[in-house]
């Protein structure tokens, strides 16, 4: 009677020892850049029809409101400036842009370990958005977001294995001067994480100061241009089918400064985009193709991410439905269009309409994140932390989202079938004179970290164990994890001399760490 518990205890101890041993990043069960593409909601003929419809929209409807500089670039590339103020795009012009577009982009981190290689169907999950509120989980309230909140989000992202990049997820509402807000957004994020960062600029004139700051941080303009670790998230269009004049001017300056750009088209299905899923994808594709022509007219081959971000709408109320099944399909369909063009692309997933980290948040975030991953979306933006249809950001939800993305990545990885994984040799060893179970076998121990994902905060105890350890609450565990992360010095903090120089040159609102 005592032998069986002994064997189980020994197996458990061996498993714990195996898990305690460090695992090389490439040997982890999940990691950045794994390939998706298994899920295909659109057939090949449907993709072709969406492509043809997008080209027809560009050729017959076109876009208006390009700045004079943009009109000049586009006309020089072969576009047609109409008497009605709209720029139309002949098919041959779009095809020329597709031929010269950059198809293999590396988004650099300040630490090269965090470089993201965007090609094919390699998948990366991260943050994004422009939330104006922070979710106070303990008080069950919303409050204005601050530069400290942004810095803390960057510090948290820096230690999360499954969150691969930080695009600015919130606005620093405590900084009223827009120039200072844009510069402090860069400072707060760069000093919080060495992963790749995405940001936006309110006005074109702010880009020069931002580049000066980035040159200082990189150690010179040449080093910055060799490894640009910040990209420009650029809403270059105001759907439907209008250029955002100032954002286009920002984009031109970012391109000149060597900064990768995200061409972001964010129409709202039923409001600023057609209400049908196919129609919303057509418009987003058309707008991003126009942006691609624009970028390559400014600088052929400049790194530009094809950012089709159509959002869902609850047609009963007019409210955004970021957590809906329709949103998951919009994003997955966009991922297929990126693959069709062979272009690095990004779209939004993982948003929730829930106000707090609760069951609704969980099902909504997981649904679209899994579909985005298995559809092969290169950059899954807004995948963690975003609540209330993008109005609120939550540190605790960001931390819980690391577990969620780990599981989504494991689904993305799929099932390997080979002589080893079929496990016939293991069956013979265990069943023919062996212990009759696989606990503690060499193959089980060897594959514990390589095949399985374990939640950091998710609870897998029995009800009895759960009661014995005080019935821990998931949100309380996330709060404790946040406090632990923020109690430690940031691994991304800037050199003190550099920090002093930055504070002397720019008005930095974030207190010294």
DSSP annotation of 506 reads S
pLDDT of residue 313: 83
Residue 109 covered by a domain: yes
pLDDT of residue 318: 80
Question: Do 211 and 71 share a structural domain?
Answer: no
Give the integer Cα–Cα distance in Å for 462 and 216.
53
Question: Do 313 and 280 share a structural domain?
Answer: yes
Q: What is the dihedral angle through the alpha carbons of 368, 369, 373, 378, rounded to the nearest 10 degrees? A: 100
Question: Do 257 and 390 share a structural domain?
Answer: yes
Residue 433 covered by a domain: no
Q: Give me the residue label for tokens 């032998």.
A: 3
Question: Do 211 and 143 share a structural domain?
Answer: yes
Buried b (16+ CB within 10 A) or exposed e, 40-71: bebeeeebeebbebbbebbbeebbebbbeebb
Residue 80 covered by a domain: yes
Burial class (CB in 10 A: 0-12, 13-18, 19+), 234: buried
Residue 501 covered by a domain: no
CATH number of the domain within which 133 lies: 3.20.20.480
Domain count, the chain: 2
Question: Do 197 and 55 share a structural domain?
Answer: no
Residue 408 covered by a domain: yes
Range of the domain at 48: 44-97
pLDDT of residue 6: 39
Give the integer Cα–Cα distance in Å for 197 and 135.
22
Question: Do 107 and 86 share a structural domain?
Answer: no
pTM: 0.94
Question: Do 125 and 60 share a structural domain?
Answer: no
pLDDT of residue 259: 98
Question: Do 123 and 61 share a structural domain?
Answer: no
Residue 386 covered by a domain: yes
SS3 441: coil
pLDDT 10s digit of each residue in the chain, 513 long? Answer: 344 343 444 555 655 555 555 566 667 888 999 999 999 999 999 999 999 999 999 999 999 999 999 999 999 999 999 999 999 999 999 999 999 999 999 999 999 999 999 999 999 999 999 999 999 999 999 999 999 999 999 999 999 999 999 999 999 999 999 999 999 999 999 999 999 999 999 999 999 999 999 999 999 999 999 999 999 999 999 999 999 999 999 999 999 999 999 999 999 999 999 999 999 999 999 999 999 999 999 999 999 999 999 998 888 888 888 899 999 999 999 999 999 999 999 999 999 999 999 999 999 999 999 999 999 999 999 999 999 999 999 999 999 999 999 999 999 999 999 999 999 999 999 999 899 999 988 888 888 888 899 999 999 999 999 999 999 999 999 999 999 999 999 999 999 999 999 999 999 999 997
| End-to-end alpha carbon distance in the chain | 58
Q: What is the dihedral angle through the alpha carbons of 121, 334, 40, 89, rounded to the nearest 10 degrees? A: -100
pLDDT of residue 499: 98
The CA radius of gyration of the chain, in Å to the nearest whole number, is 24
Question: Do 352 and 206 share a structural domain?
Answer: yes
Question: What 3 state SS string does 222-254 have?
Answer: HHHHHCCCEEEEECCECCCCEECHHHHHHHHHH
**Among 60, 79, 97, which residue terminates a domain?**
97
Helix H or strand E encompassing 496: helix 496-505
pLDDT of residue 468: 95
**Among 97, 115, 136, which residue terminates a domain?**
97
pLDDT of residue 12: 57
Residue 255 covered by a domain: yes
Neighbours of 175 (CB within 10 A): 20
Q: Half-sphere exposure of 299 toward its Cβ, with a 13 Å CA cutoff?
A: 15
Q: Give me the residue label for tokens 């981190």.
A: 109
pLDDT of residue 220: 98
Strand order in the sheet with 261-265: 124-125, 379-381, 345-348, 304-308, 261-265, 230-234, 197-199, 166-167
pLDDT of residue 152: 98
Residue 127 covered by a domain: yes
**Among 382, 413, 444, which residue terminates a domain?**
413
Question: What 3 state SS string does 180-216 have?
Answer: HHHHHHHHHHHCCCCCCEEECCCCCCHHHHHHHHHHH
Give the integer Cα–Cα distance in Å for 500 and 360.
45
pLDDT of residue 450: 85
Question: Do 163 and 144 share a structural domain?
Answer: yes
Question: Do 88 and 123 share a structural domain?
Answer: no
Question: Do 214 and 83 share a structural domain?
Answer: no
């Amino acid at each position: 009677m005592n032998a069986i518990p002994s064997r189980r205890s020994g197996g458990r101890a061996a498993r714990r020892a195996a898990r305690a041993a460090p695992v090389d990043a490439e040997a982890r069960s999940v990691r950045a850049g794994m390939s998706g593409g298994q899920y295909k909601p659109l057939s090949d003929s449907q993709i072709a029809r969406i492509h043809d419809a997008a080209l027809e929209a560009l050729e017959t409807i076109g876009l208006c409101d390009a700045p004079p500089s943009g009109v000049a670039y586009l006309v020089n590339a072969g576009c047609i400036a109409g008497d009605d103020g709209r720029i139309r795009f002949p098919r041959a012009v779009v095809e020329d842009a597709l031929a010269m577009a950059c198809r293999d982009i590396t988004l650099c981190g300040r630490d090269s370990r965090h470089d993201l290689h965007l090609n094919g169907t390699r998948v990366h999950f991260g943050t994004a958005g422009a939330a104006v509120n922070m979710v106070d989980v303990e008080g069950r309230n919303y409050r204005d977001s601050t530069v400290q909140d942004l810095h803390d989000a960057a510090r948290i992202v820096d230690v999360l294995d499954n969150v691969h990049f930080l695009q600015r997820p919130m606005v620093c509402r405590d900084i009223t001067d827009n120039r200072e807000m844009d510069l402090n957004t860069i400072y707060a994020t760069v000093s919080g994480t060495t992963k790749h960062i995405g940001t936006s600029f309110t006005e074109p004139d702010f880009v020069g100061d931002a580049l000066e700051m980035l040159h200082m941080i990189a150690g010179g303009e040449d080093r910055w241009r060799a490894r640009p670790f910040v990209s420009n998230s650029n809403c270059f269009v105001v759907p439907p089918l209008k250029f955002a004049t100032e954002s286009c001017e920002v984009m031109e300056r970012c391109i000149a400064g060597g900064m990768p750009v995200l061409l972001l088209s964010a129409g709202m299905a039923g409001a600023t985009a057609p209400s049908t899923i196919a129609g919303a994808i057509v418009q987003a594709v058309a707008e991003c193709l126009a942006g691609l022509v624009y970028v390559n007219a400014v600088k052929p081959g400049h790194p530009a991410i094809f950012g089709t971000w159509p959002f869902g709408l609850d047609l009963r109320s007019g409210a955004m439905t970021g957590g809906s099944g329709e949103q998951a399909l919009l994003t997955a369909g966009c991922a297929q269009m990126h693959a069709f063009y062979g272009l690095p692309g990004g779209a939004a997933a993982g948003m929730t309409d829930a106000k707090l980290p609760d069951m609704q948040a969980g099902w909504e975030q997981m649904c679209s994140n899994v579909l985005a991953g298995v559809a092969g979306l290169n950059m899954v933006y807004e995948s963690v932390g975003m609540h209330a249809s993008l109005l609120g950001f939550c540190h605790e939800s960001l931390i819980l989202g690391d577990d969620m993305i780990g599981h989504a990545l494991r689904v993305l990885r799929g099932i390997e079938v080979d002589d080893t994984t079929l496990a016939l040799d293991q069956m013979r060893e265990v069943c023919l004179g062996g212990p009759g179970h696989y606990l503690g076998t060499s193959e089980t121990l060897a594959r514990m970290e390589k095949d399985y994902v374990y939640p950091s905060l998710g609870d897998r105890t029995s009800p009895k164990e759960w009661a014995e350890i005080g019935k821990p609450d998931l949100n309380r565990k996330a709060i404790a994890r946040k406090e632990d992360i923020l109690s430690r010095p940031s691994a991304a903090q800037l050199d003190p001399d550099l920090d002093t120089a930055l504070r002397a040159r720019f008005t930095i609102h974030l207190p010294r760490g």
